Amino acid sequence: MNKIFYLFLTLSLLCTAAITVEAGNPDRQGEAGAYELLMIPYAKMAGLHAMNTSFVTGVEAMRLNVAGLSRVNKTEVEVGYARYLQGTDINMNAFGFAQKVGNGAFGFSLMALDFGDIPVTTTEQPEGTGATYSPNFFNLALSYAVTFENKVSVGITLRGISESTSNVSAFGFALDAGVQYVSGEHDNFKFGISLRNVGSRMTFNGEGLGTRGPSPTGAYELTFEQRTAGFELPSMLNIGTSYDILFGANRVTLLGNFTSNSFSRDQVGGGLEYALNEIFMLRAGYKYEFQSNSDVIQESIYTGLAGGLTVQVPLKKKSELKEGDYMPTLGIDYAYRETRLWDGTHNISVRISL
């Protein structure tokens, strides 16, 4: 009865939150902020354009569908790096840790953007003052997920978001929730729902927004603080399904995914992943964004094509394992996503599962 109650509660929260989000509204495009929450720092996800909502597991689940966190074997550590839009000199760095505890798992993840050194310019010195600055964009998340009878998994994530320069900053909180369901003789069929980035409005504050001006009498100067408008987080709802075709040591996973965005157009897509003995994997996906007009400026920078591969090697011999032990592995993932401008986005991840 408790399992049914928790499942019903989670689904109710997801549906209620989804109703409150005005999804798929292109008229609101550009009104949200903190779009780093939508970036993909890990290569396995990137190779499928983050459409593996139904079967993502472990550390990467905390960035897409936290319910998959509970399906980690025991302990998993992953480091992700991406060259975002090759040519812009923007890099993504991510770290995640997941630990199995009973039927559930706890997770911790951190993602930061590296903009490099940006020259400081003023109206008097438009070519630069000789000084540089670098914005600090990062988010920190704590997650928990649990699996009931190896069929239904539910999870939740609390994420803190920080954006700042030397004299201006903004901070906010976001909540993610997700559900995964598996069925079939060999758990072939998988279904997942995730709601992401539902949280507080963010507003920039700091000394950088201050300006000096004359007092009402004009006898002296005062420092005035300029008010800034707040902005919403880019909330989204993902619904995905997948099916595993197994033959011998081979696995082919077919997947489909629908994304409802609260501040941009909706997206739908599909892909496949091929695995040989779960050691070598190839994956590819295509995501289509619904268009309301032919304005090239408003089109997504990504063309919809993505692909990647994984090499995952065991760290022990089978003879060294005790009964019930999981095989520890070291995995290296790579992904590429094509873009209309610049030279695409490259992702690479290193993952250790114990």
pLDDT exceeds cutoff 80 at 295: no
Q: Is 295 exposed, middle or buried (0-12, 13-18, 19+ CB in 10 A)?
A: exposed
pLDDT for res 327: 84
pLDDT exceeds cutoff 90 at 245: yes
* Structural tokens at position 145: 């997920």
Q: Residues 113, 90: contact at Cβ < 8 Å? A: yes
- Percent over 90 (pLDDT), the chain: 62
Nearest Cα to Cα of residue 258 among 179, 339, 191 = 191
pLDDT for res 20: 45
**CATH level 2 (architecture), domain 2-353:** Beta Barrel (2.40)
The CB density around residue 140, as the number of other CB atoms within 10 Å, is 14
- Percent over 70 (pLDDT), the chain: 89
The H or E element containing residue 11 is helix 2-20
Range scoring the smallest mean pLDDT among 4-13, 40-49, 60-69, 278-287:
4-13
Range scoring the smallest mean pLDDT among 27-31, 137-141, 180-184, 319-323:
27-31
Which pLDDT band, with edges at 50, 70 and 90, does 128 fall under? confident
Structure confidence by residue, pLDDT tens digits, 133-191: 889 999 999 999 999 888 899 999 999 999 998 889 999 999 999 999 999 888 999 99
Nearest Cα to Cα of residue 252 among 327, 311, 188 = 188
CA 43, 48, 51, 53 dihedral sign is negative
φ/ψ (deg, to 5) at 150: 60, 20
| More confidently predicted of 7 and 35 | 35
SS3 state of residue 30:
coil
pLDDT for res 11: 54
Instruction: Write the CB contacts of 102 (distance below 8 Å, at least 6 apart in sequence).
Output: none
Question: HSE (CB half, 13 Å, CA atoms) of 269?
Answer: 24
What is the average per-residue pLDDT within 313-327? Answer: 81
pLDDT for res 66: 96
| More confidently predicted of 261 and 98 | 98
DSSP code for 263 = S
What is the average per-residue pLDDT within 216-241? Answer: 84
